[in-house]
Amino acid sequence: MKKIITIDGPSGVGKTTIGQEIAVKLKYSFFSSGKLYRYIAKYIDDYKITNYKHIEIKIDNSGSCFINEKKYNDNELYNKKINQYSSEIAKDPLIRNLIKFTLLNYYEDIDRGLVIEGRDMGSVVFPNADFKLYLDADEETRGKRRENQSGSQETIEEIKQRDHKDMHREESPLIVPKNAIVIDNTNKSKKETVEEIIEKLKLL
């Protein structure tokens, strides 16, 4: 039986890098759900779309995304403008629902296990996941990590604003999912965090 591991948490906590490493170790697929929010934000901004019914978004078996058959490069998605705009459009229940079903279909179609990260993976999209993690770190540490990531250009202040939006929206806010294991990696390296998770997974 294929398994699913969810990783939720605020920005800059290392969900993507840590999730990718765990997926490699387990020979699972990896997907970052924020990418779909970024795809939709970019598309709405480019084409000034107001009716979301005309948006078709899909993920192929290799993890590539397409929105109305269009593909974006990472540098068009991971930048200052889309950081904030993706968090803004993520408040919309129609968009959240569209993404939820895109992710459920993706998981159904892949034949390997999946590590997936985001803000509501363990709470809303995959509430019955085999293993749920919630990663956390203090704001200053997360801000510093983000500032050091080339291309992201996100300051501590911007991270605070985005987290505030993601945690306080009405629709699927960022929370610690039920039964999730919480790891605070403020004073831990990426390697230490990955090792701790792998140890916990052995108890499964």
Contact residues: ligand DC, CB under 6 A: 11, 33-34, 37-38, 86-87, 90, 118-121, 162, 166
Task: Extract long-range pairs of 167-176: CB within 8 Å, 24+ residues apart.
Answer: 167/10, 169/90, 169/91, 170/91, 171/91, 171/92, 171/93, 171/96, 172/96, 172/119, 172/120, 172/123, 172/124, 173/119, 173/120, 174/8, 174/9, 174/10, 174/119, 174/120, 175/120, 175/123, 176/8, 176/134
| Residue with smallest beta-carbon separation from ligand DC | 34
Q: How far is the CB of 62 from ligand DC (least distance, A)?
A: 19
Q: How far is the CB of 202 from ligand DC (least distance, A)?
A: 27
The tokens describing 114, both together, are 């999946």
Q: How far is the CB of 170 from ligand DC (least distance, A)?
A: 12
Q: In the complex with ligand DC, which residue's Cβ is closer, 29 or 33? A: 33
* Beta-carbon contacts of residue 41 (< 8 Å; ≥ 6 apart): 82, 85, 86, 88, 89
Q: How far is the CB of 96 from ligand DC (least distance, A)?
A: 7
Q: In the complex with ligand DC, which residue's Cβ is closer, 29 or 86? A: 86
Tokens 């999912």 belong to which residue? 177
Q: In the complex with ligand DC, which residue's Cβ is closer, 86 or 102? A: 86
Q: In the complex with ligand DC, which residue's Cβ is closer, 90 or 129? A: 90
Q: Are 19 and 145 in contact (CB under 8 A)?
A: no
Q: In the complex with ligand DC, which residue's Cβ is closer, 16 or 196? A: 16
Q: How far is the CB of 203 from ligand DC (least distance, A)?
A: 26
